[in-house]
Amino acid sequence: MINKYIYALLFFMTTHCYASFVLDGTRYIYDGTIKNIAVQITNDSNNSYGGQVWIENSDQPINNIYFIPAPAFFTLAKNQIQIVSIINVNDDLPKNKESLFYLNVQEIPLKSTTDNSLQIAMNTRVKLIYRPKAIINDRARAENKINIISKDGDIYLNNPTPYYFAITSVTDNNKLLQLSSVIMNKLTVFKPFSKVKLGNYNKNISFNAINDYGAVINYNIKSI
């Protein structure tokens, strides 16, 4: 019985924890023609928090530093806003395709004034995509270039473009495909010049994808 109460308490805590820091975007595009981008962080709570910002490499050498946040540490009072600049400090990135990073914004609870209080540090992690100058103009609705490749009775979604895409669902003849978490993880971070195996399906495929502005758009792939 004790274990059941513990599990119930943990479930309640997990499902009722919300980040106090709110970002002004669900993803950030770093245009290769500019020197920095700004991220707005709002403390949407009644408490003051410390904050820490850092950036993870995804498809670049893990020990190399390409972007730095300024400031990386700050304190944010209730209902106040902090602007963090993301600065490119290393130009050694591919010029013919996008590069993917992750922006992390960590809440740091300040010392509690009450005893026996539970403090939880929440971390918000969103995509940061570097888009080099040479490919900026062709990005609009580039998802339309995704096509299907057939091989050994299976079909693959093929991304022939230099862009990362975020596909959230796939349908076949208007029926939602129940794809594995492994496949969906690959589709939500659909890499440039890559393909993802869907399986033995028909060829009347459509999909939903999130664009640069966070909107979900539906795209149809013509039968081949």
Contact between 199 and 155 under an 8 Å Cβ cutoff? The reply is yes
pLDDT in tens, 139-161: 999 999 999 998 888 899 999 99
pLDDT in tens, 154-205: 899 999 999 999 999 999 988 999 999 999 999 999 999 999 999 887 778 9
Is residue 5's pLDDT more than 90? Answer: no
Walk me through the domains of the chain, giving residue ranges and CATH numbers.
2-135 (2.60.40.10), 139-220 (2.60.40.10)
Q: Report d(CA 159, CA 193) in Å as an integer.
A: 5
Is residue 138's pLDDT more than 90? Answer: yes
pLDDT in tens, 77-126: 999 999 999 999 998 999 999 999 999 999 998 876 555 555 677 899 99
Q: Specify the residue for token string 């919300």.
A: 18
Share of the chain above pLDDT 70, in %: 86
Q: Specify the pTM.
A: 0.86
Per-residue b/e over 109-121, b at no fewer than 16 CB within 10 Å? beeeeeeeeeeee
